[in-house]
Chains A and B, each alone.
Chain A
Amino acid sequence: MNGVKKNTVAPMFQLNNITKSFGGGFSLSPLSLVIQKGETVALVGPSGSGKTTLLNIMANIIRPDSGQVIIDGVPAQKLRPGRELSRRVGMVHQQFDLVDQLPVIHNVLAGRLGEWGLGRSLLSLFIPQDKHLAVHALERVGLSAKIYQRTAYLSGGEQQRVALARLLVQRPAAILADEPVSSLDPARAEDLLRMLVGFAREDEQTLVASLHSVDYARRYFSRLIALRDGAVYFDLPVSAVDDGTLARLYDLGEDANGEAICQNP
């Protein structure tokens, strides 16, 4: 469905044989992935399987020890932080990572910082710039009533929606979400996921989200990538995932050195 767009040739993310290890003996073994534009991908797997590390590598926040990361056709090491990167990749975190002390509107407009110069961003703290973008984004996430509230006063679910509104203003080509709903109760979690996936589809963005719950992953996403011990355990379209496969993914007792069941190129 996204094949009609202009620069269709380059996939959104292309990872070739990347590895990463930390002092604690925790690592990503050689791992390769291709994610096309417009895909909605869920990363699942037991905690410690390397989901966060993988997302951080895709966001170009950390560099792999070896291997190649290509974001939107550009090698990651050539993308400097700032506008070049923020137009391609935006990220939501588990802890929202908003500036608590700022009113909601400034946290949302922070999505424009890559586009604004210093002067304009300072002026905006007193007279909000591009205000219509923030208003529109907050309307879409259903928070327009709280536009001038201090962010710290919002509930967890509301803060997560503010983070979402910031992404709507930033409009990156791809959204990376690290456990976006793990600190929310089930009802709010579903709301937020529905919104996140819905917006990504509407705006033709790529979405990669790590999730604790396979249930949510199957319900809202089109492709599932399971990680286990830093390697791809399976990589399947949602329709091909069955309960048995999932049970084996989370079964830690036996099958500790379980092989990959299916490697989708």
Chain B
Amino acid sequence: MRVHQQVADLAPHSTGSIVIKGCIWQRLNVVRVSILMMVLLVTASWIFLFTLEGASLSGYFSAKNLYHAKELLGNMLGLGAETPAFLDMTSWHKALALTYETMQMSVLAIGFAGIGMLITVLPAARTVADGSLTLTSTWYGWLVFGTVRFLYILSRAVPELVWAMIIVFMFKPGILPGAIALGLHNFGILGKLCAEVVEDLDWRPVRSLRSSGASWWQMLFYGVLPTVTPKFLTYLLYRWEVIIRTTIIVGFVGAGGLGQQFKLSMSWLHYTEITLLLICYFLLVVLADATSGLLRRFVQ
């Protein structure tokens, strides 16, 4: 892509019409095949669900299920309960402490993910590996590129919760295993996003610094970093919002915070406590969105 651009810059008289025609044909083809595949996949999935998996609409929307659902809702709203947890000061106190802990876990997680990403992102950019940015390309550069990219895919393909299940084998319950699990998953996502930012970097200002006599490191600090920082910060904040939403999930396997309590209340059938925890979770999400929005406006 970048090479094409470069050639196009230097040679304006390239013969492009044939290439463009080829592209259109290929484009339609990809789209058409994708639509066909999608339709097949959707049909196959629903057939599979209703045959082999035994899903049944009439069985699902039955009077019995409706009754159970109503009962659950009633329990959660505290109908018939002596003192619903969400009207009880001590319960609130406990829940807010857990919310605070959850907040810490999320910050710890994005910190881990961010540090991991910063260390690995430069070699993970194709433009760095193939030398179009730094003018040097080496076999070990490609090796590191491949390894880091594989790590990114692996860590983002595995959901936070599965990482958490593995990690609670090693760490005692608390916010650390939760943060590590969340951090691992988001490391892969941040890495991919930020490597793309580096790849899409306009290399002309960087090369222009070169002609002012800048060294490799000076190009990094004067050309690359200032340009990518705003996008990196935006992605960090955006992923932090997502992490806040997911903290409750890693708690399910004993990784601390609101989620852990949520699961306990579930198994003890303390329905009003569940409501209270959901309220706190909701508040946390809203608060995090607002904070992140505020900070994001700061960098723009």
Contact = CB atoms under 8 A, between A and B. Distances in A.
Contacts of A44: none
Interface string B3-25: 00001001111110000000000
Chain B at the A interface: mostly helix, strand, loop or mixed? helix
A167 B99 CA distance: 55
B295 to A, nearest CB: 17
A182 interface: no
A23 B7 contact: yes
Given A93-B204, A101-B230, A121-B218, A22 B7 contact: yes
Interface stretch (B45-53, B65-73, B221-229, B271-279): B221-229
B10 to A, nearest CB: 6
A86 B213 contact: yes
A83 B214 CA distance: 8
Contacts of B230: 101
Contact of B212 (A53, A61, A90, A101): A90
A110 B221 contact: no
A25 B15 CA distance: 11
Nearest to B221: A122
A87 interface: yes
A265 interface: no
A170 B205 contact: no
B211 interface: yes
Nearest to A47: B12
Contacts of A52: 10
A166 B222 CA distance: 13
Interface residues of B, number: 28
A59 interface: yes
Given A53-B10, A122-B221, A101 B213 contact: no
Given A99-B205, A99-B222, A125-B221, A114 B11 contact: no
Contacts of B221: 118, 121-122, 125
A48 interface: yes
Given A97-B208, A99-B205, A26 B10 contact: yes
B213 A118 contact: no
B212 A114 contact: yes
A82 B223 contact: no
Interface string B173-212: 0000000000000000000000000000000111111111
Contact of B14 (A24, A81, A97): A24
A110 B214 contact: yes
B215 interface: yes
B7 A106 contact: no
Contacts of A100: 205, 227
A17 interface: no
Contacts of A25: 13
A219 B226 CA distance: 39
Interface string A26-64: 100000000000000000000110001100000101000
Given A93-B204, A113-B213, A118-B215, 14 more contacts: A24-B7, A24-B13, A26-B11, A59-B211, A81-B210, A91-B208, A97-B205, A97-B208, A100-B205, A101-B227, A110-B214, A113-B214, A114-B213, A118-B217
Closest 5 CB pairs of A and B: A114-B213, A86-B213, A24-B11, A97-B208, A113-B214
Interface of A: 22-26, 47-48, 52-53, 59, 61, 81-83, 85-87, 89-91, 93, 95, 97-102, 106, 110-111, 113-116, 118, 121-122, 125, 166, 170
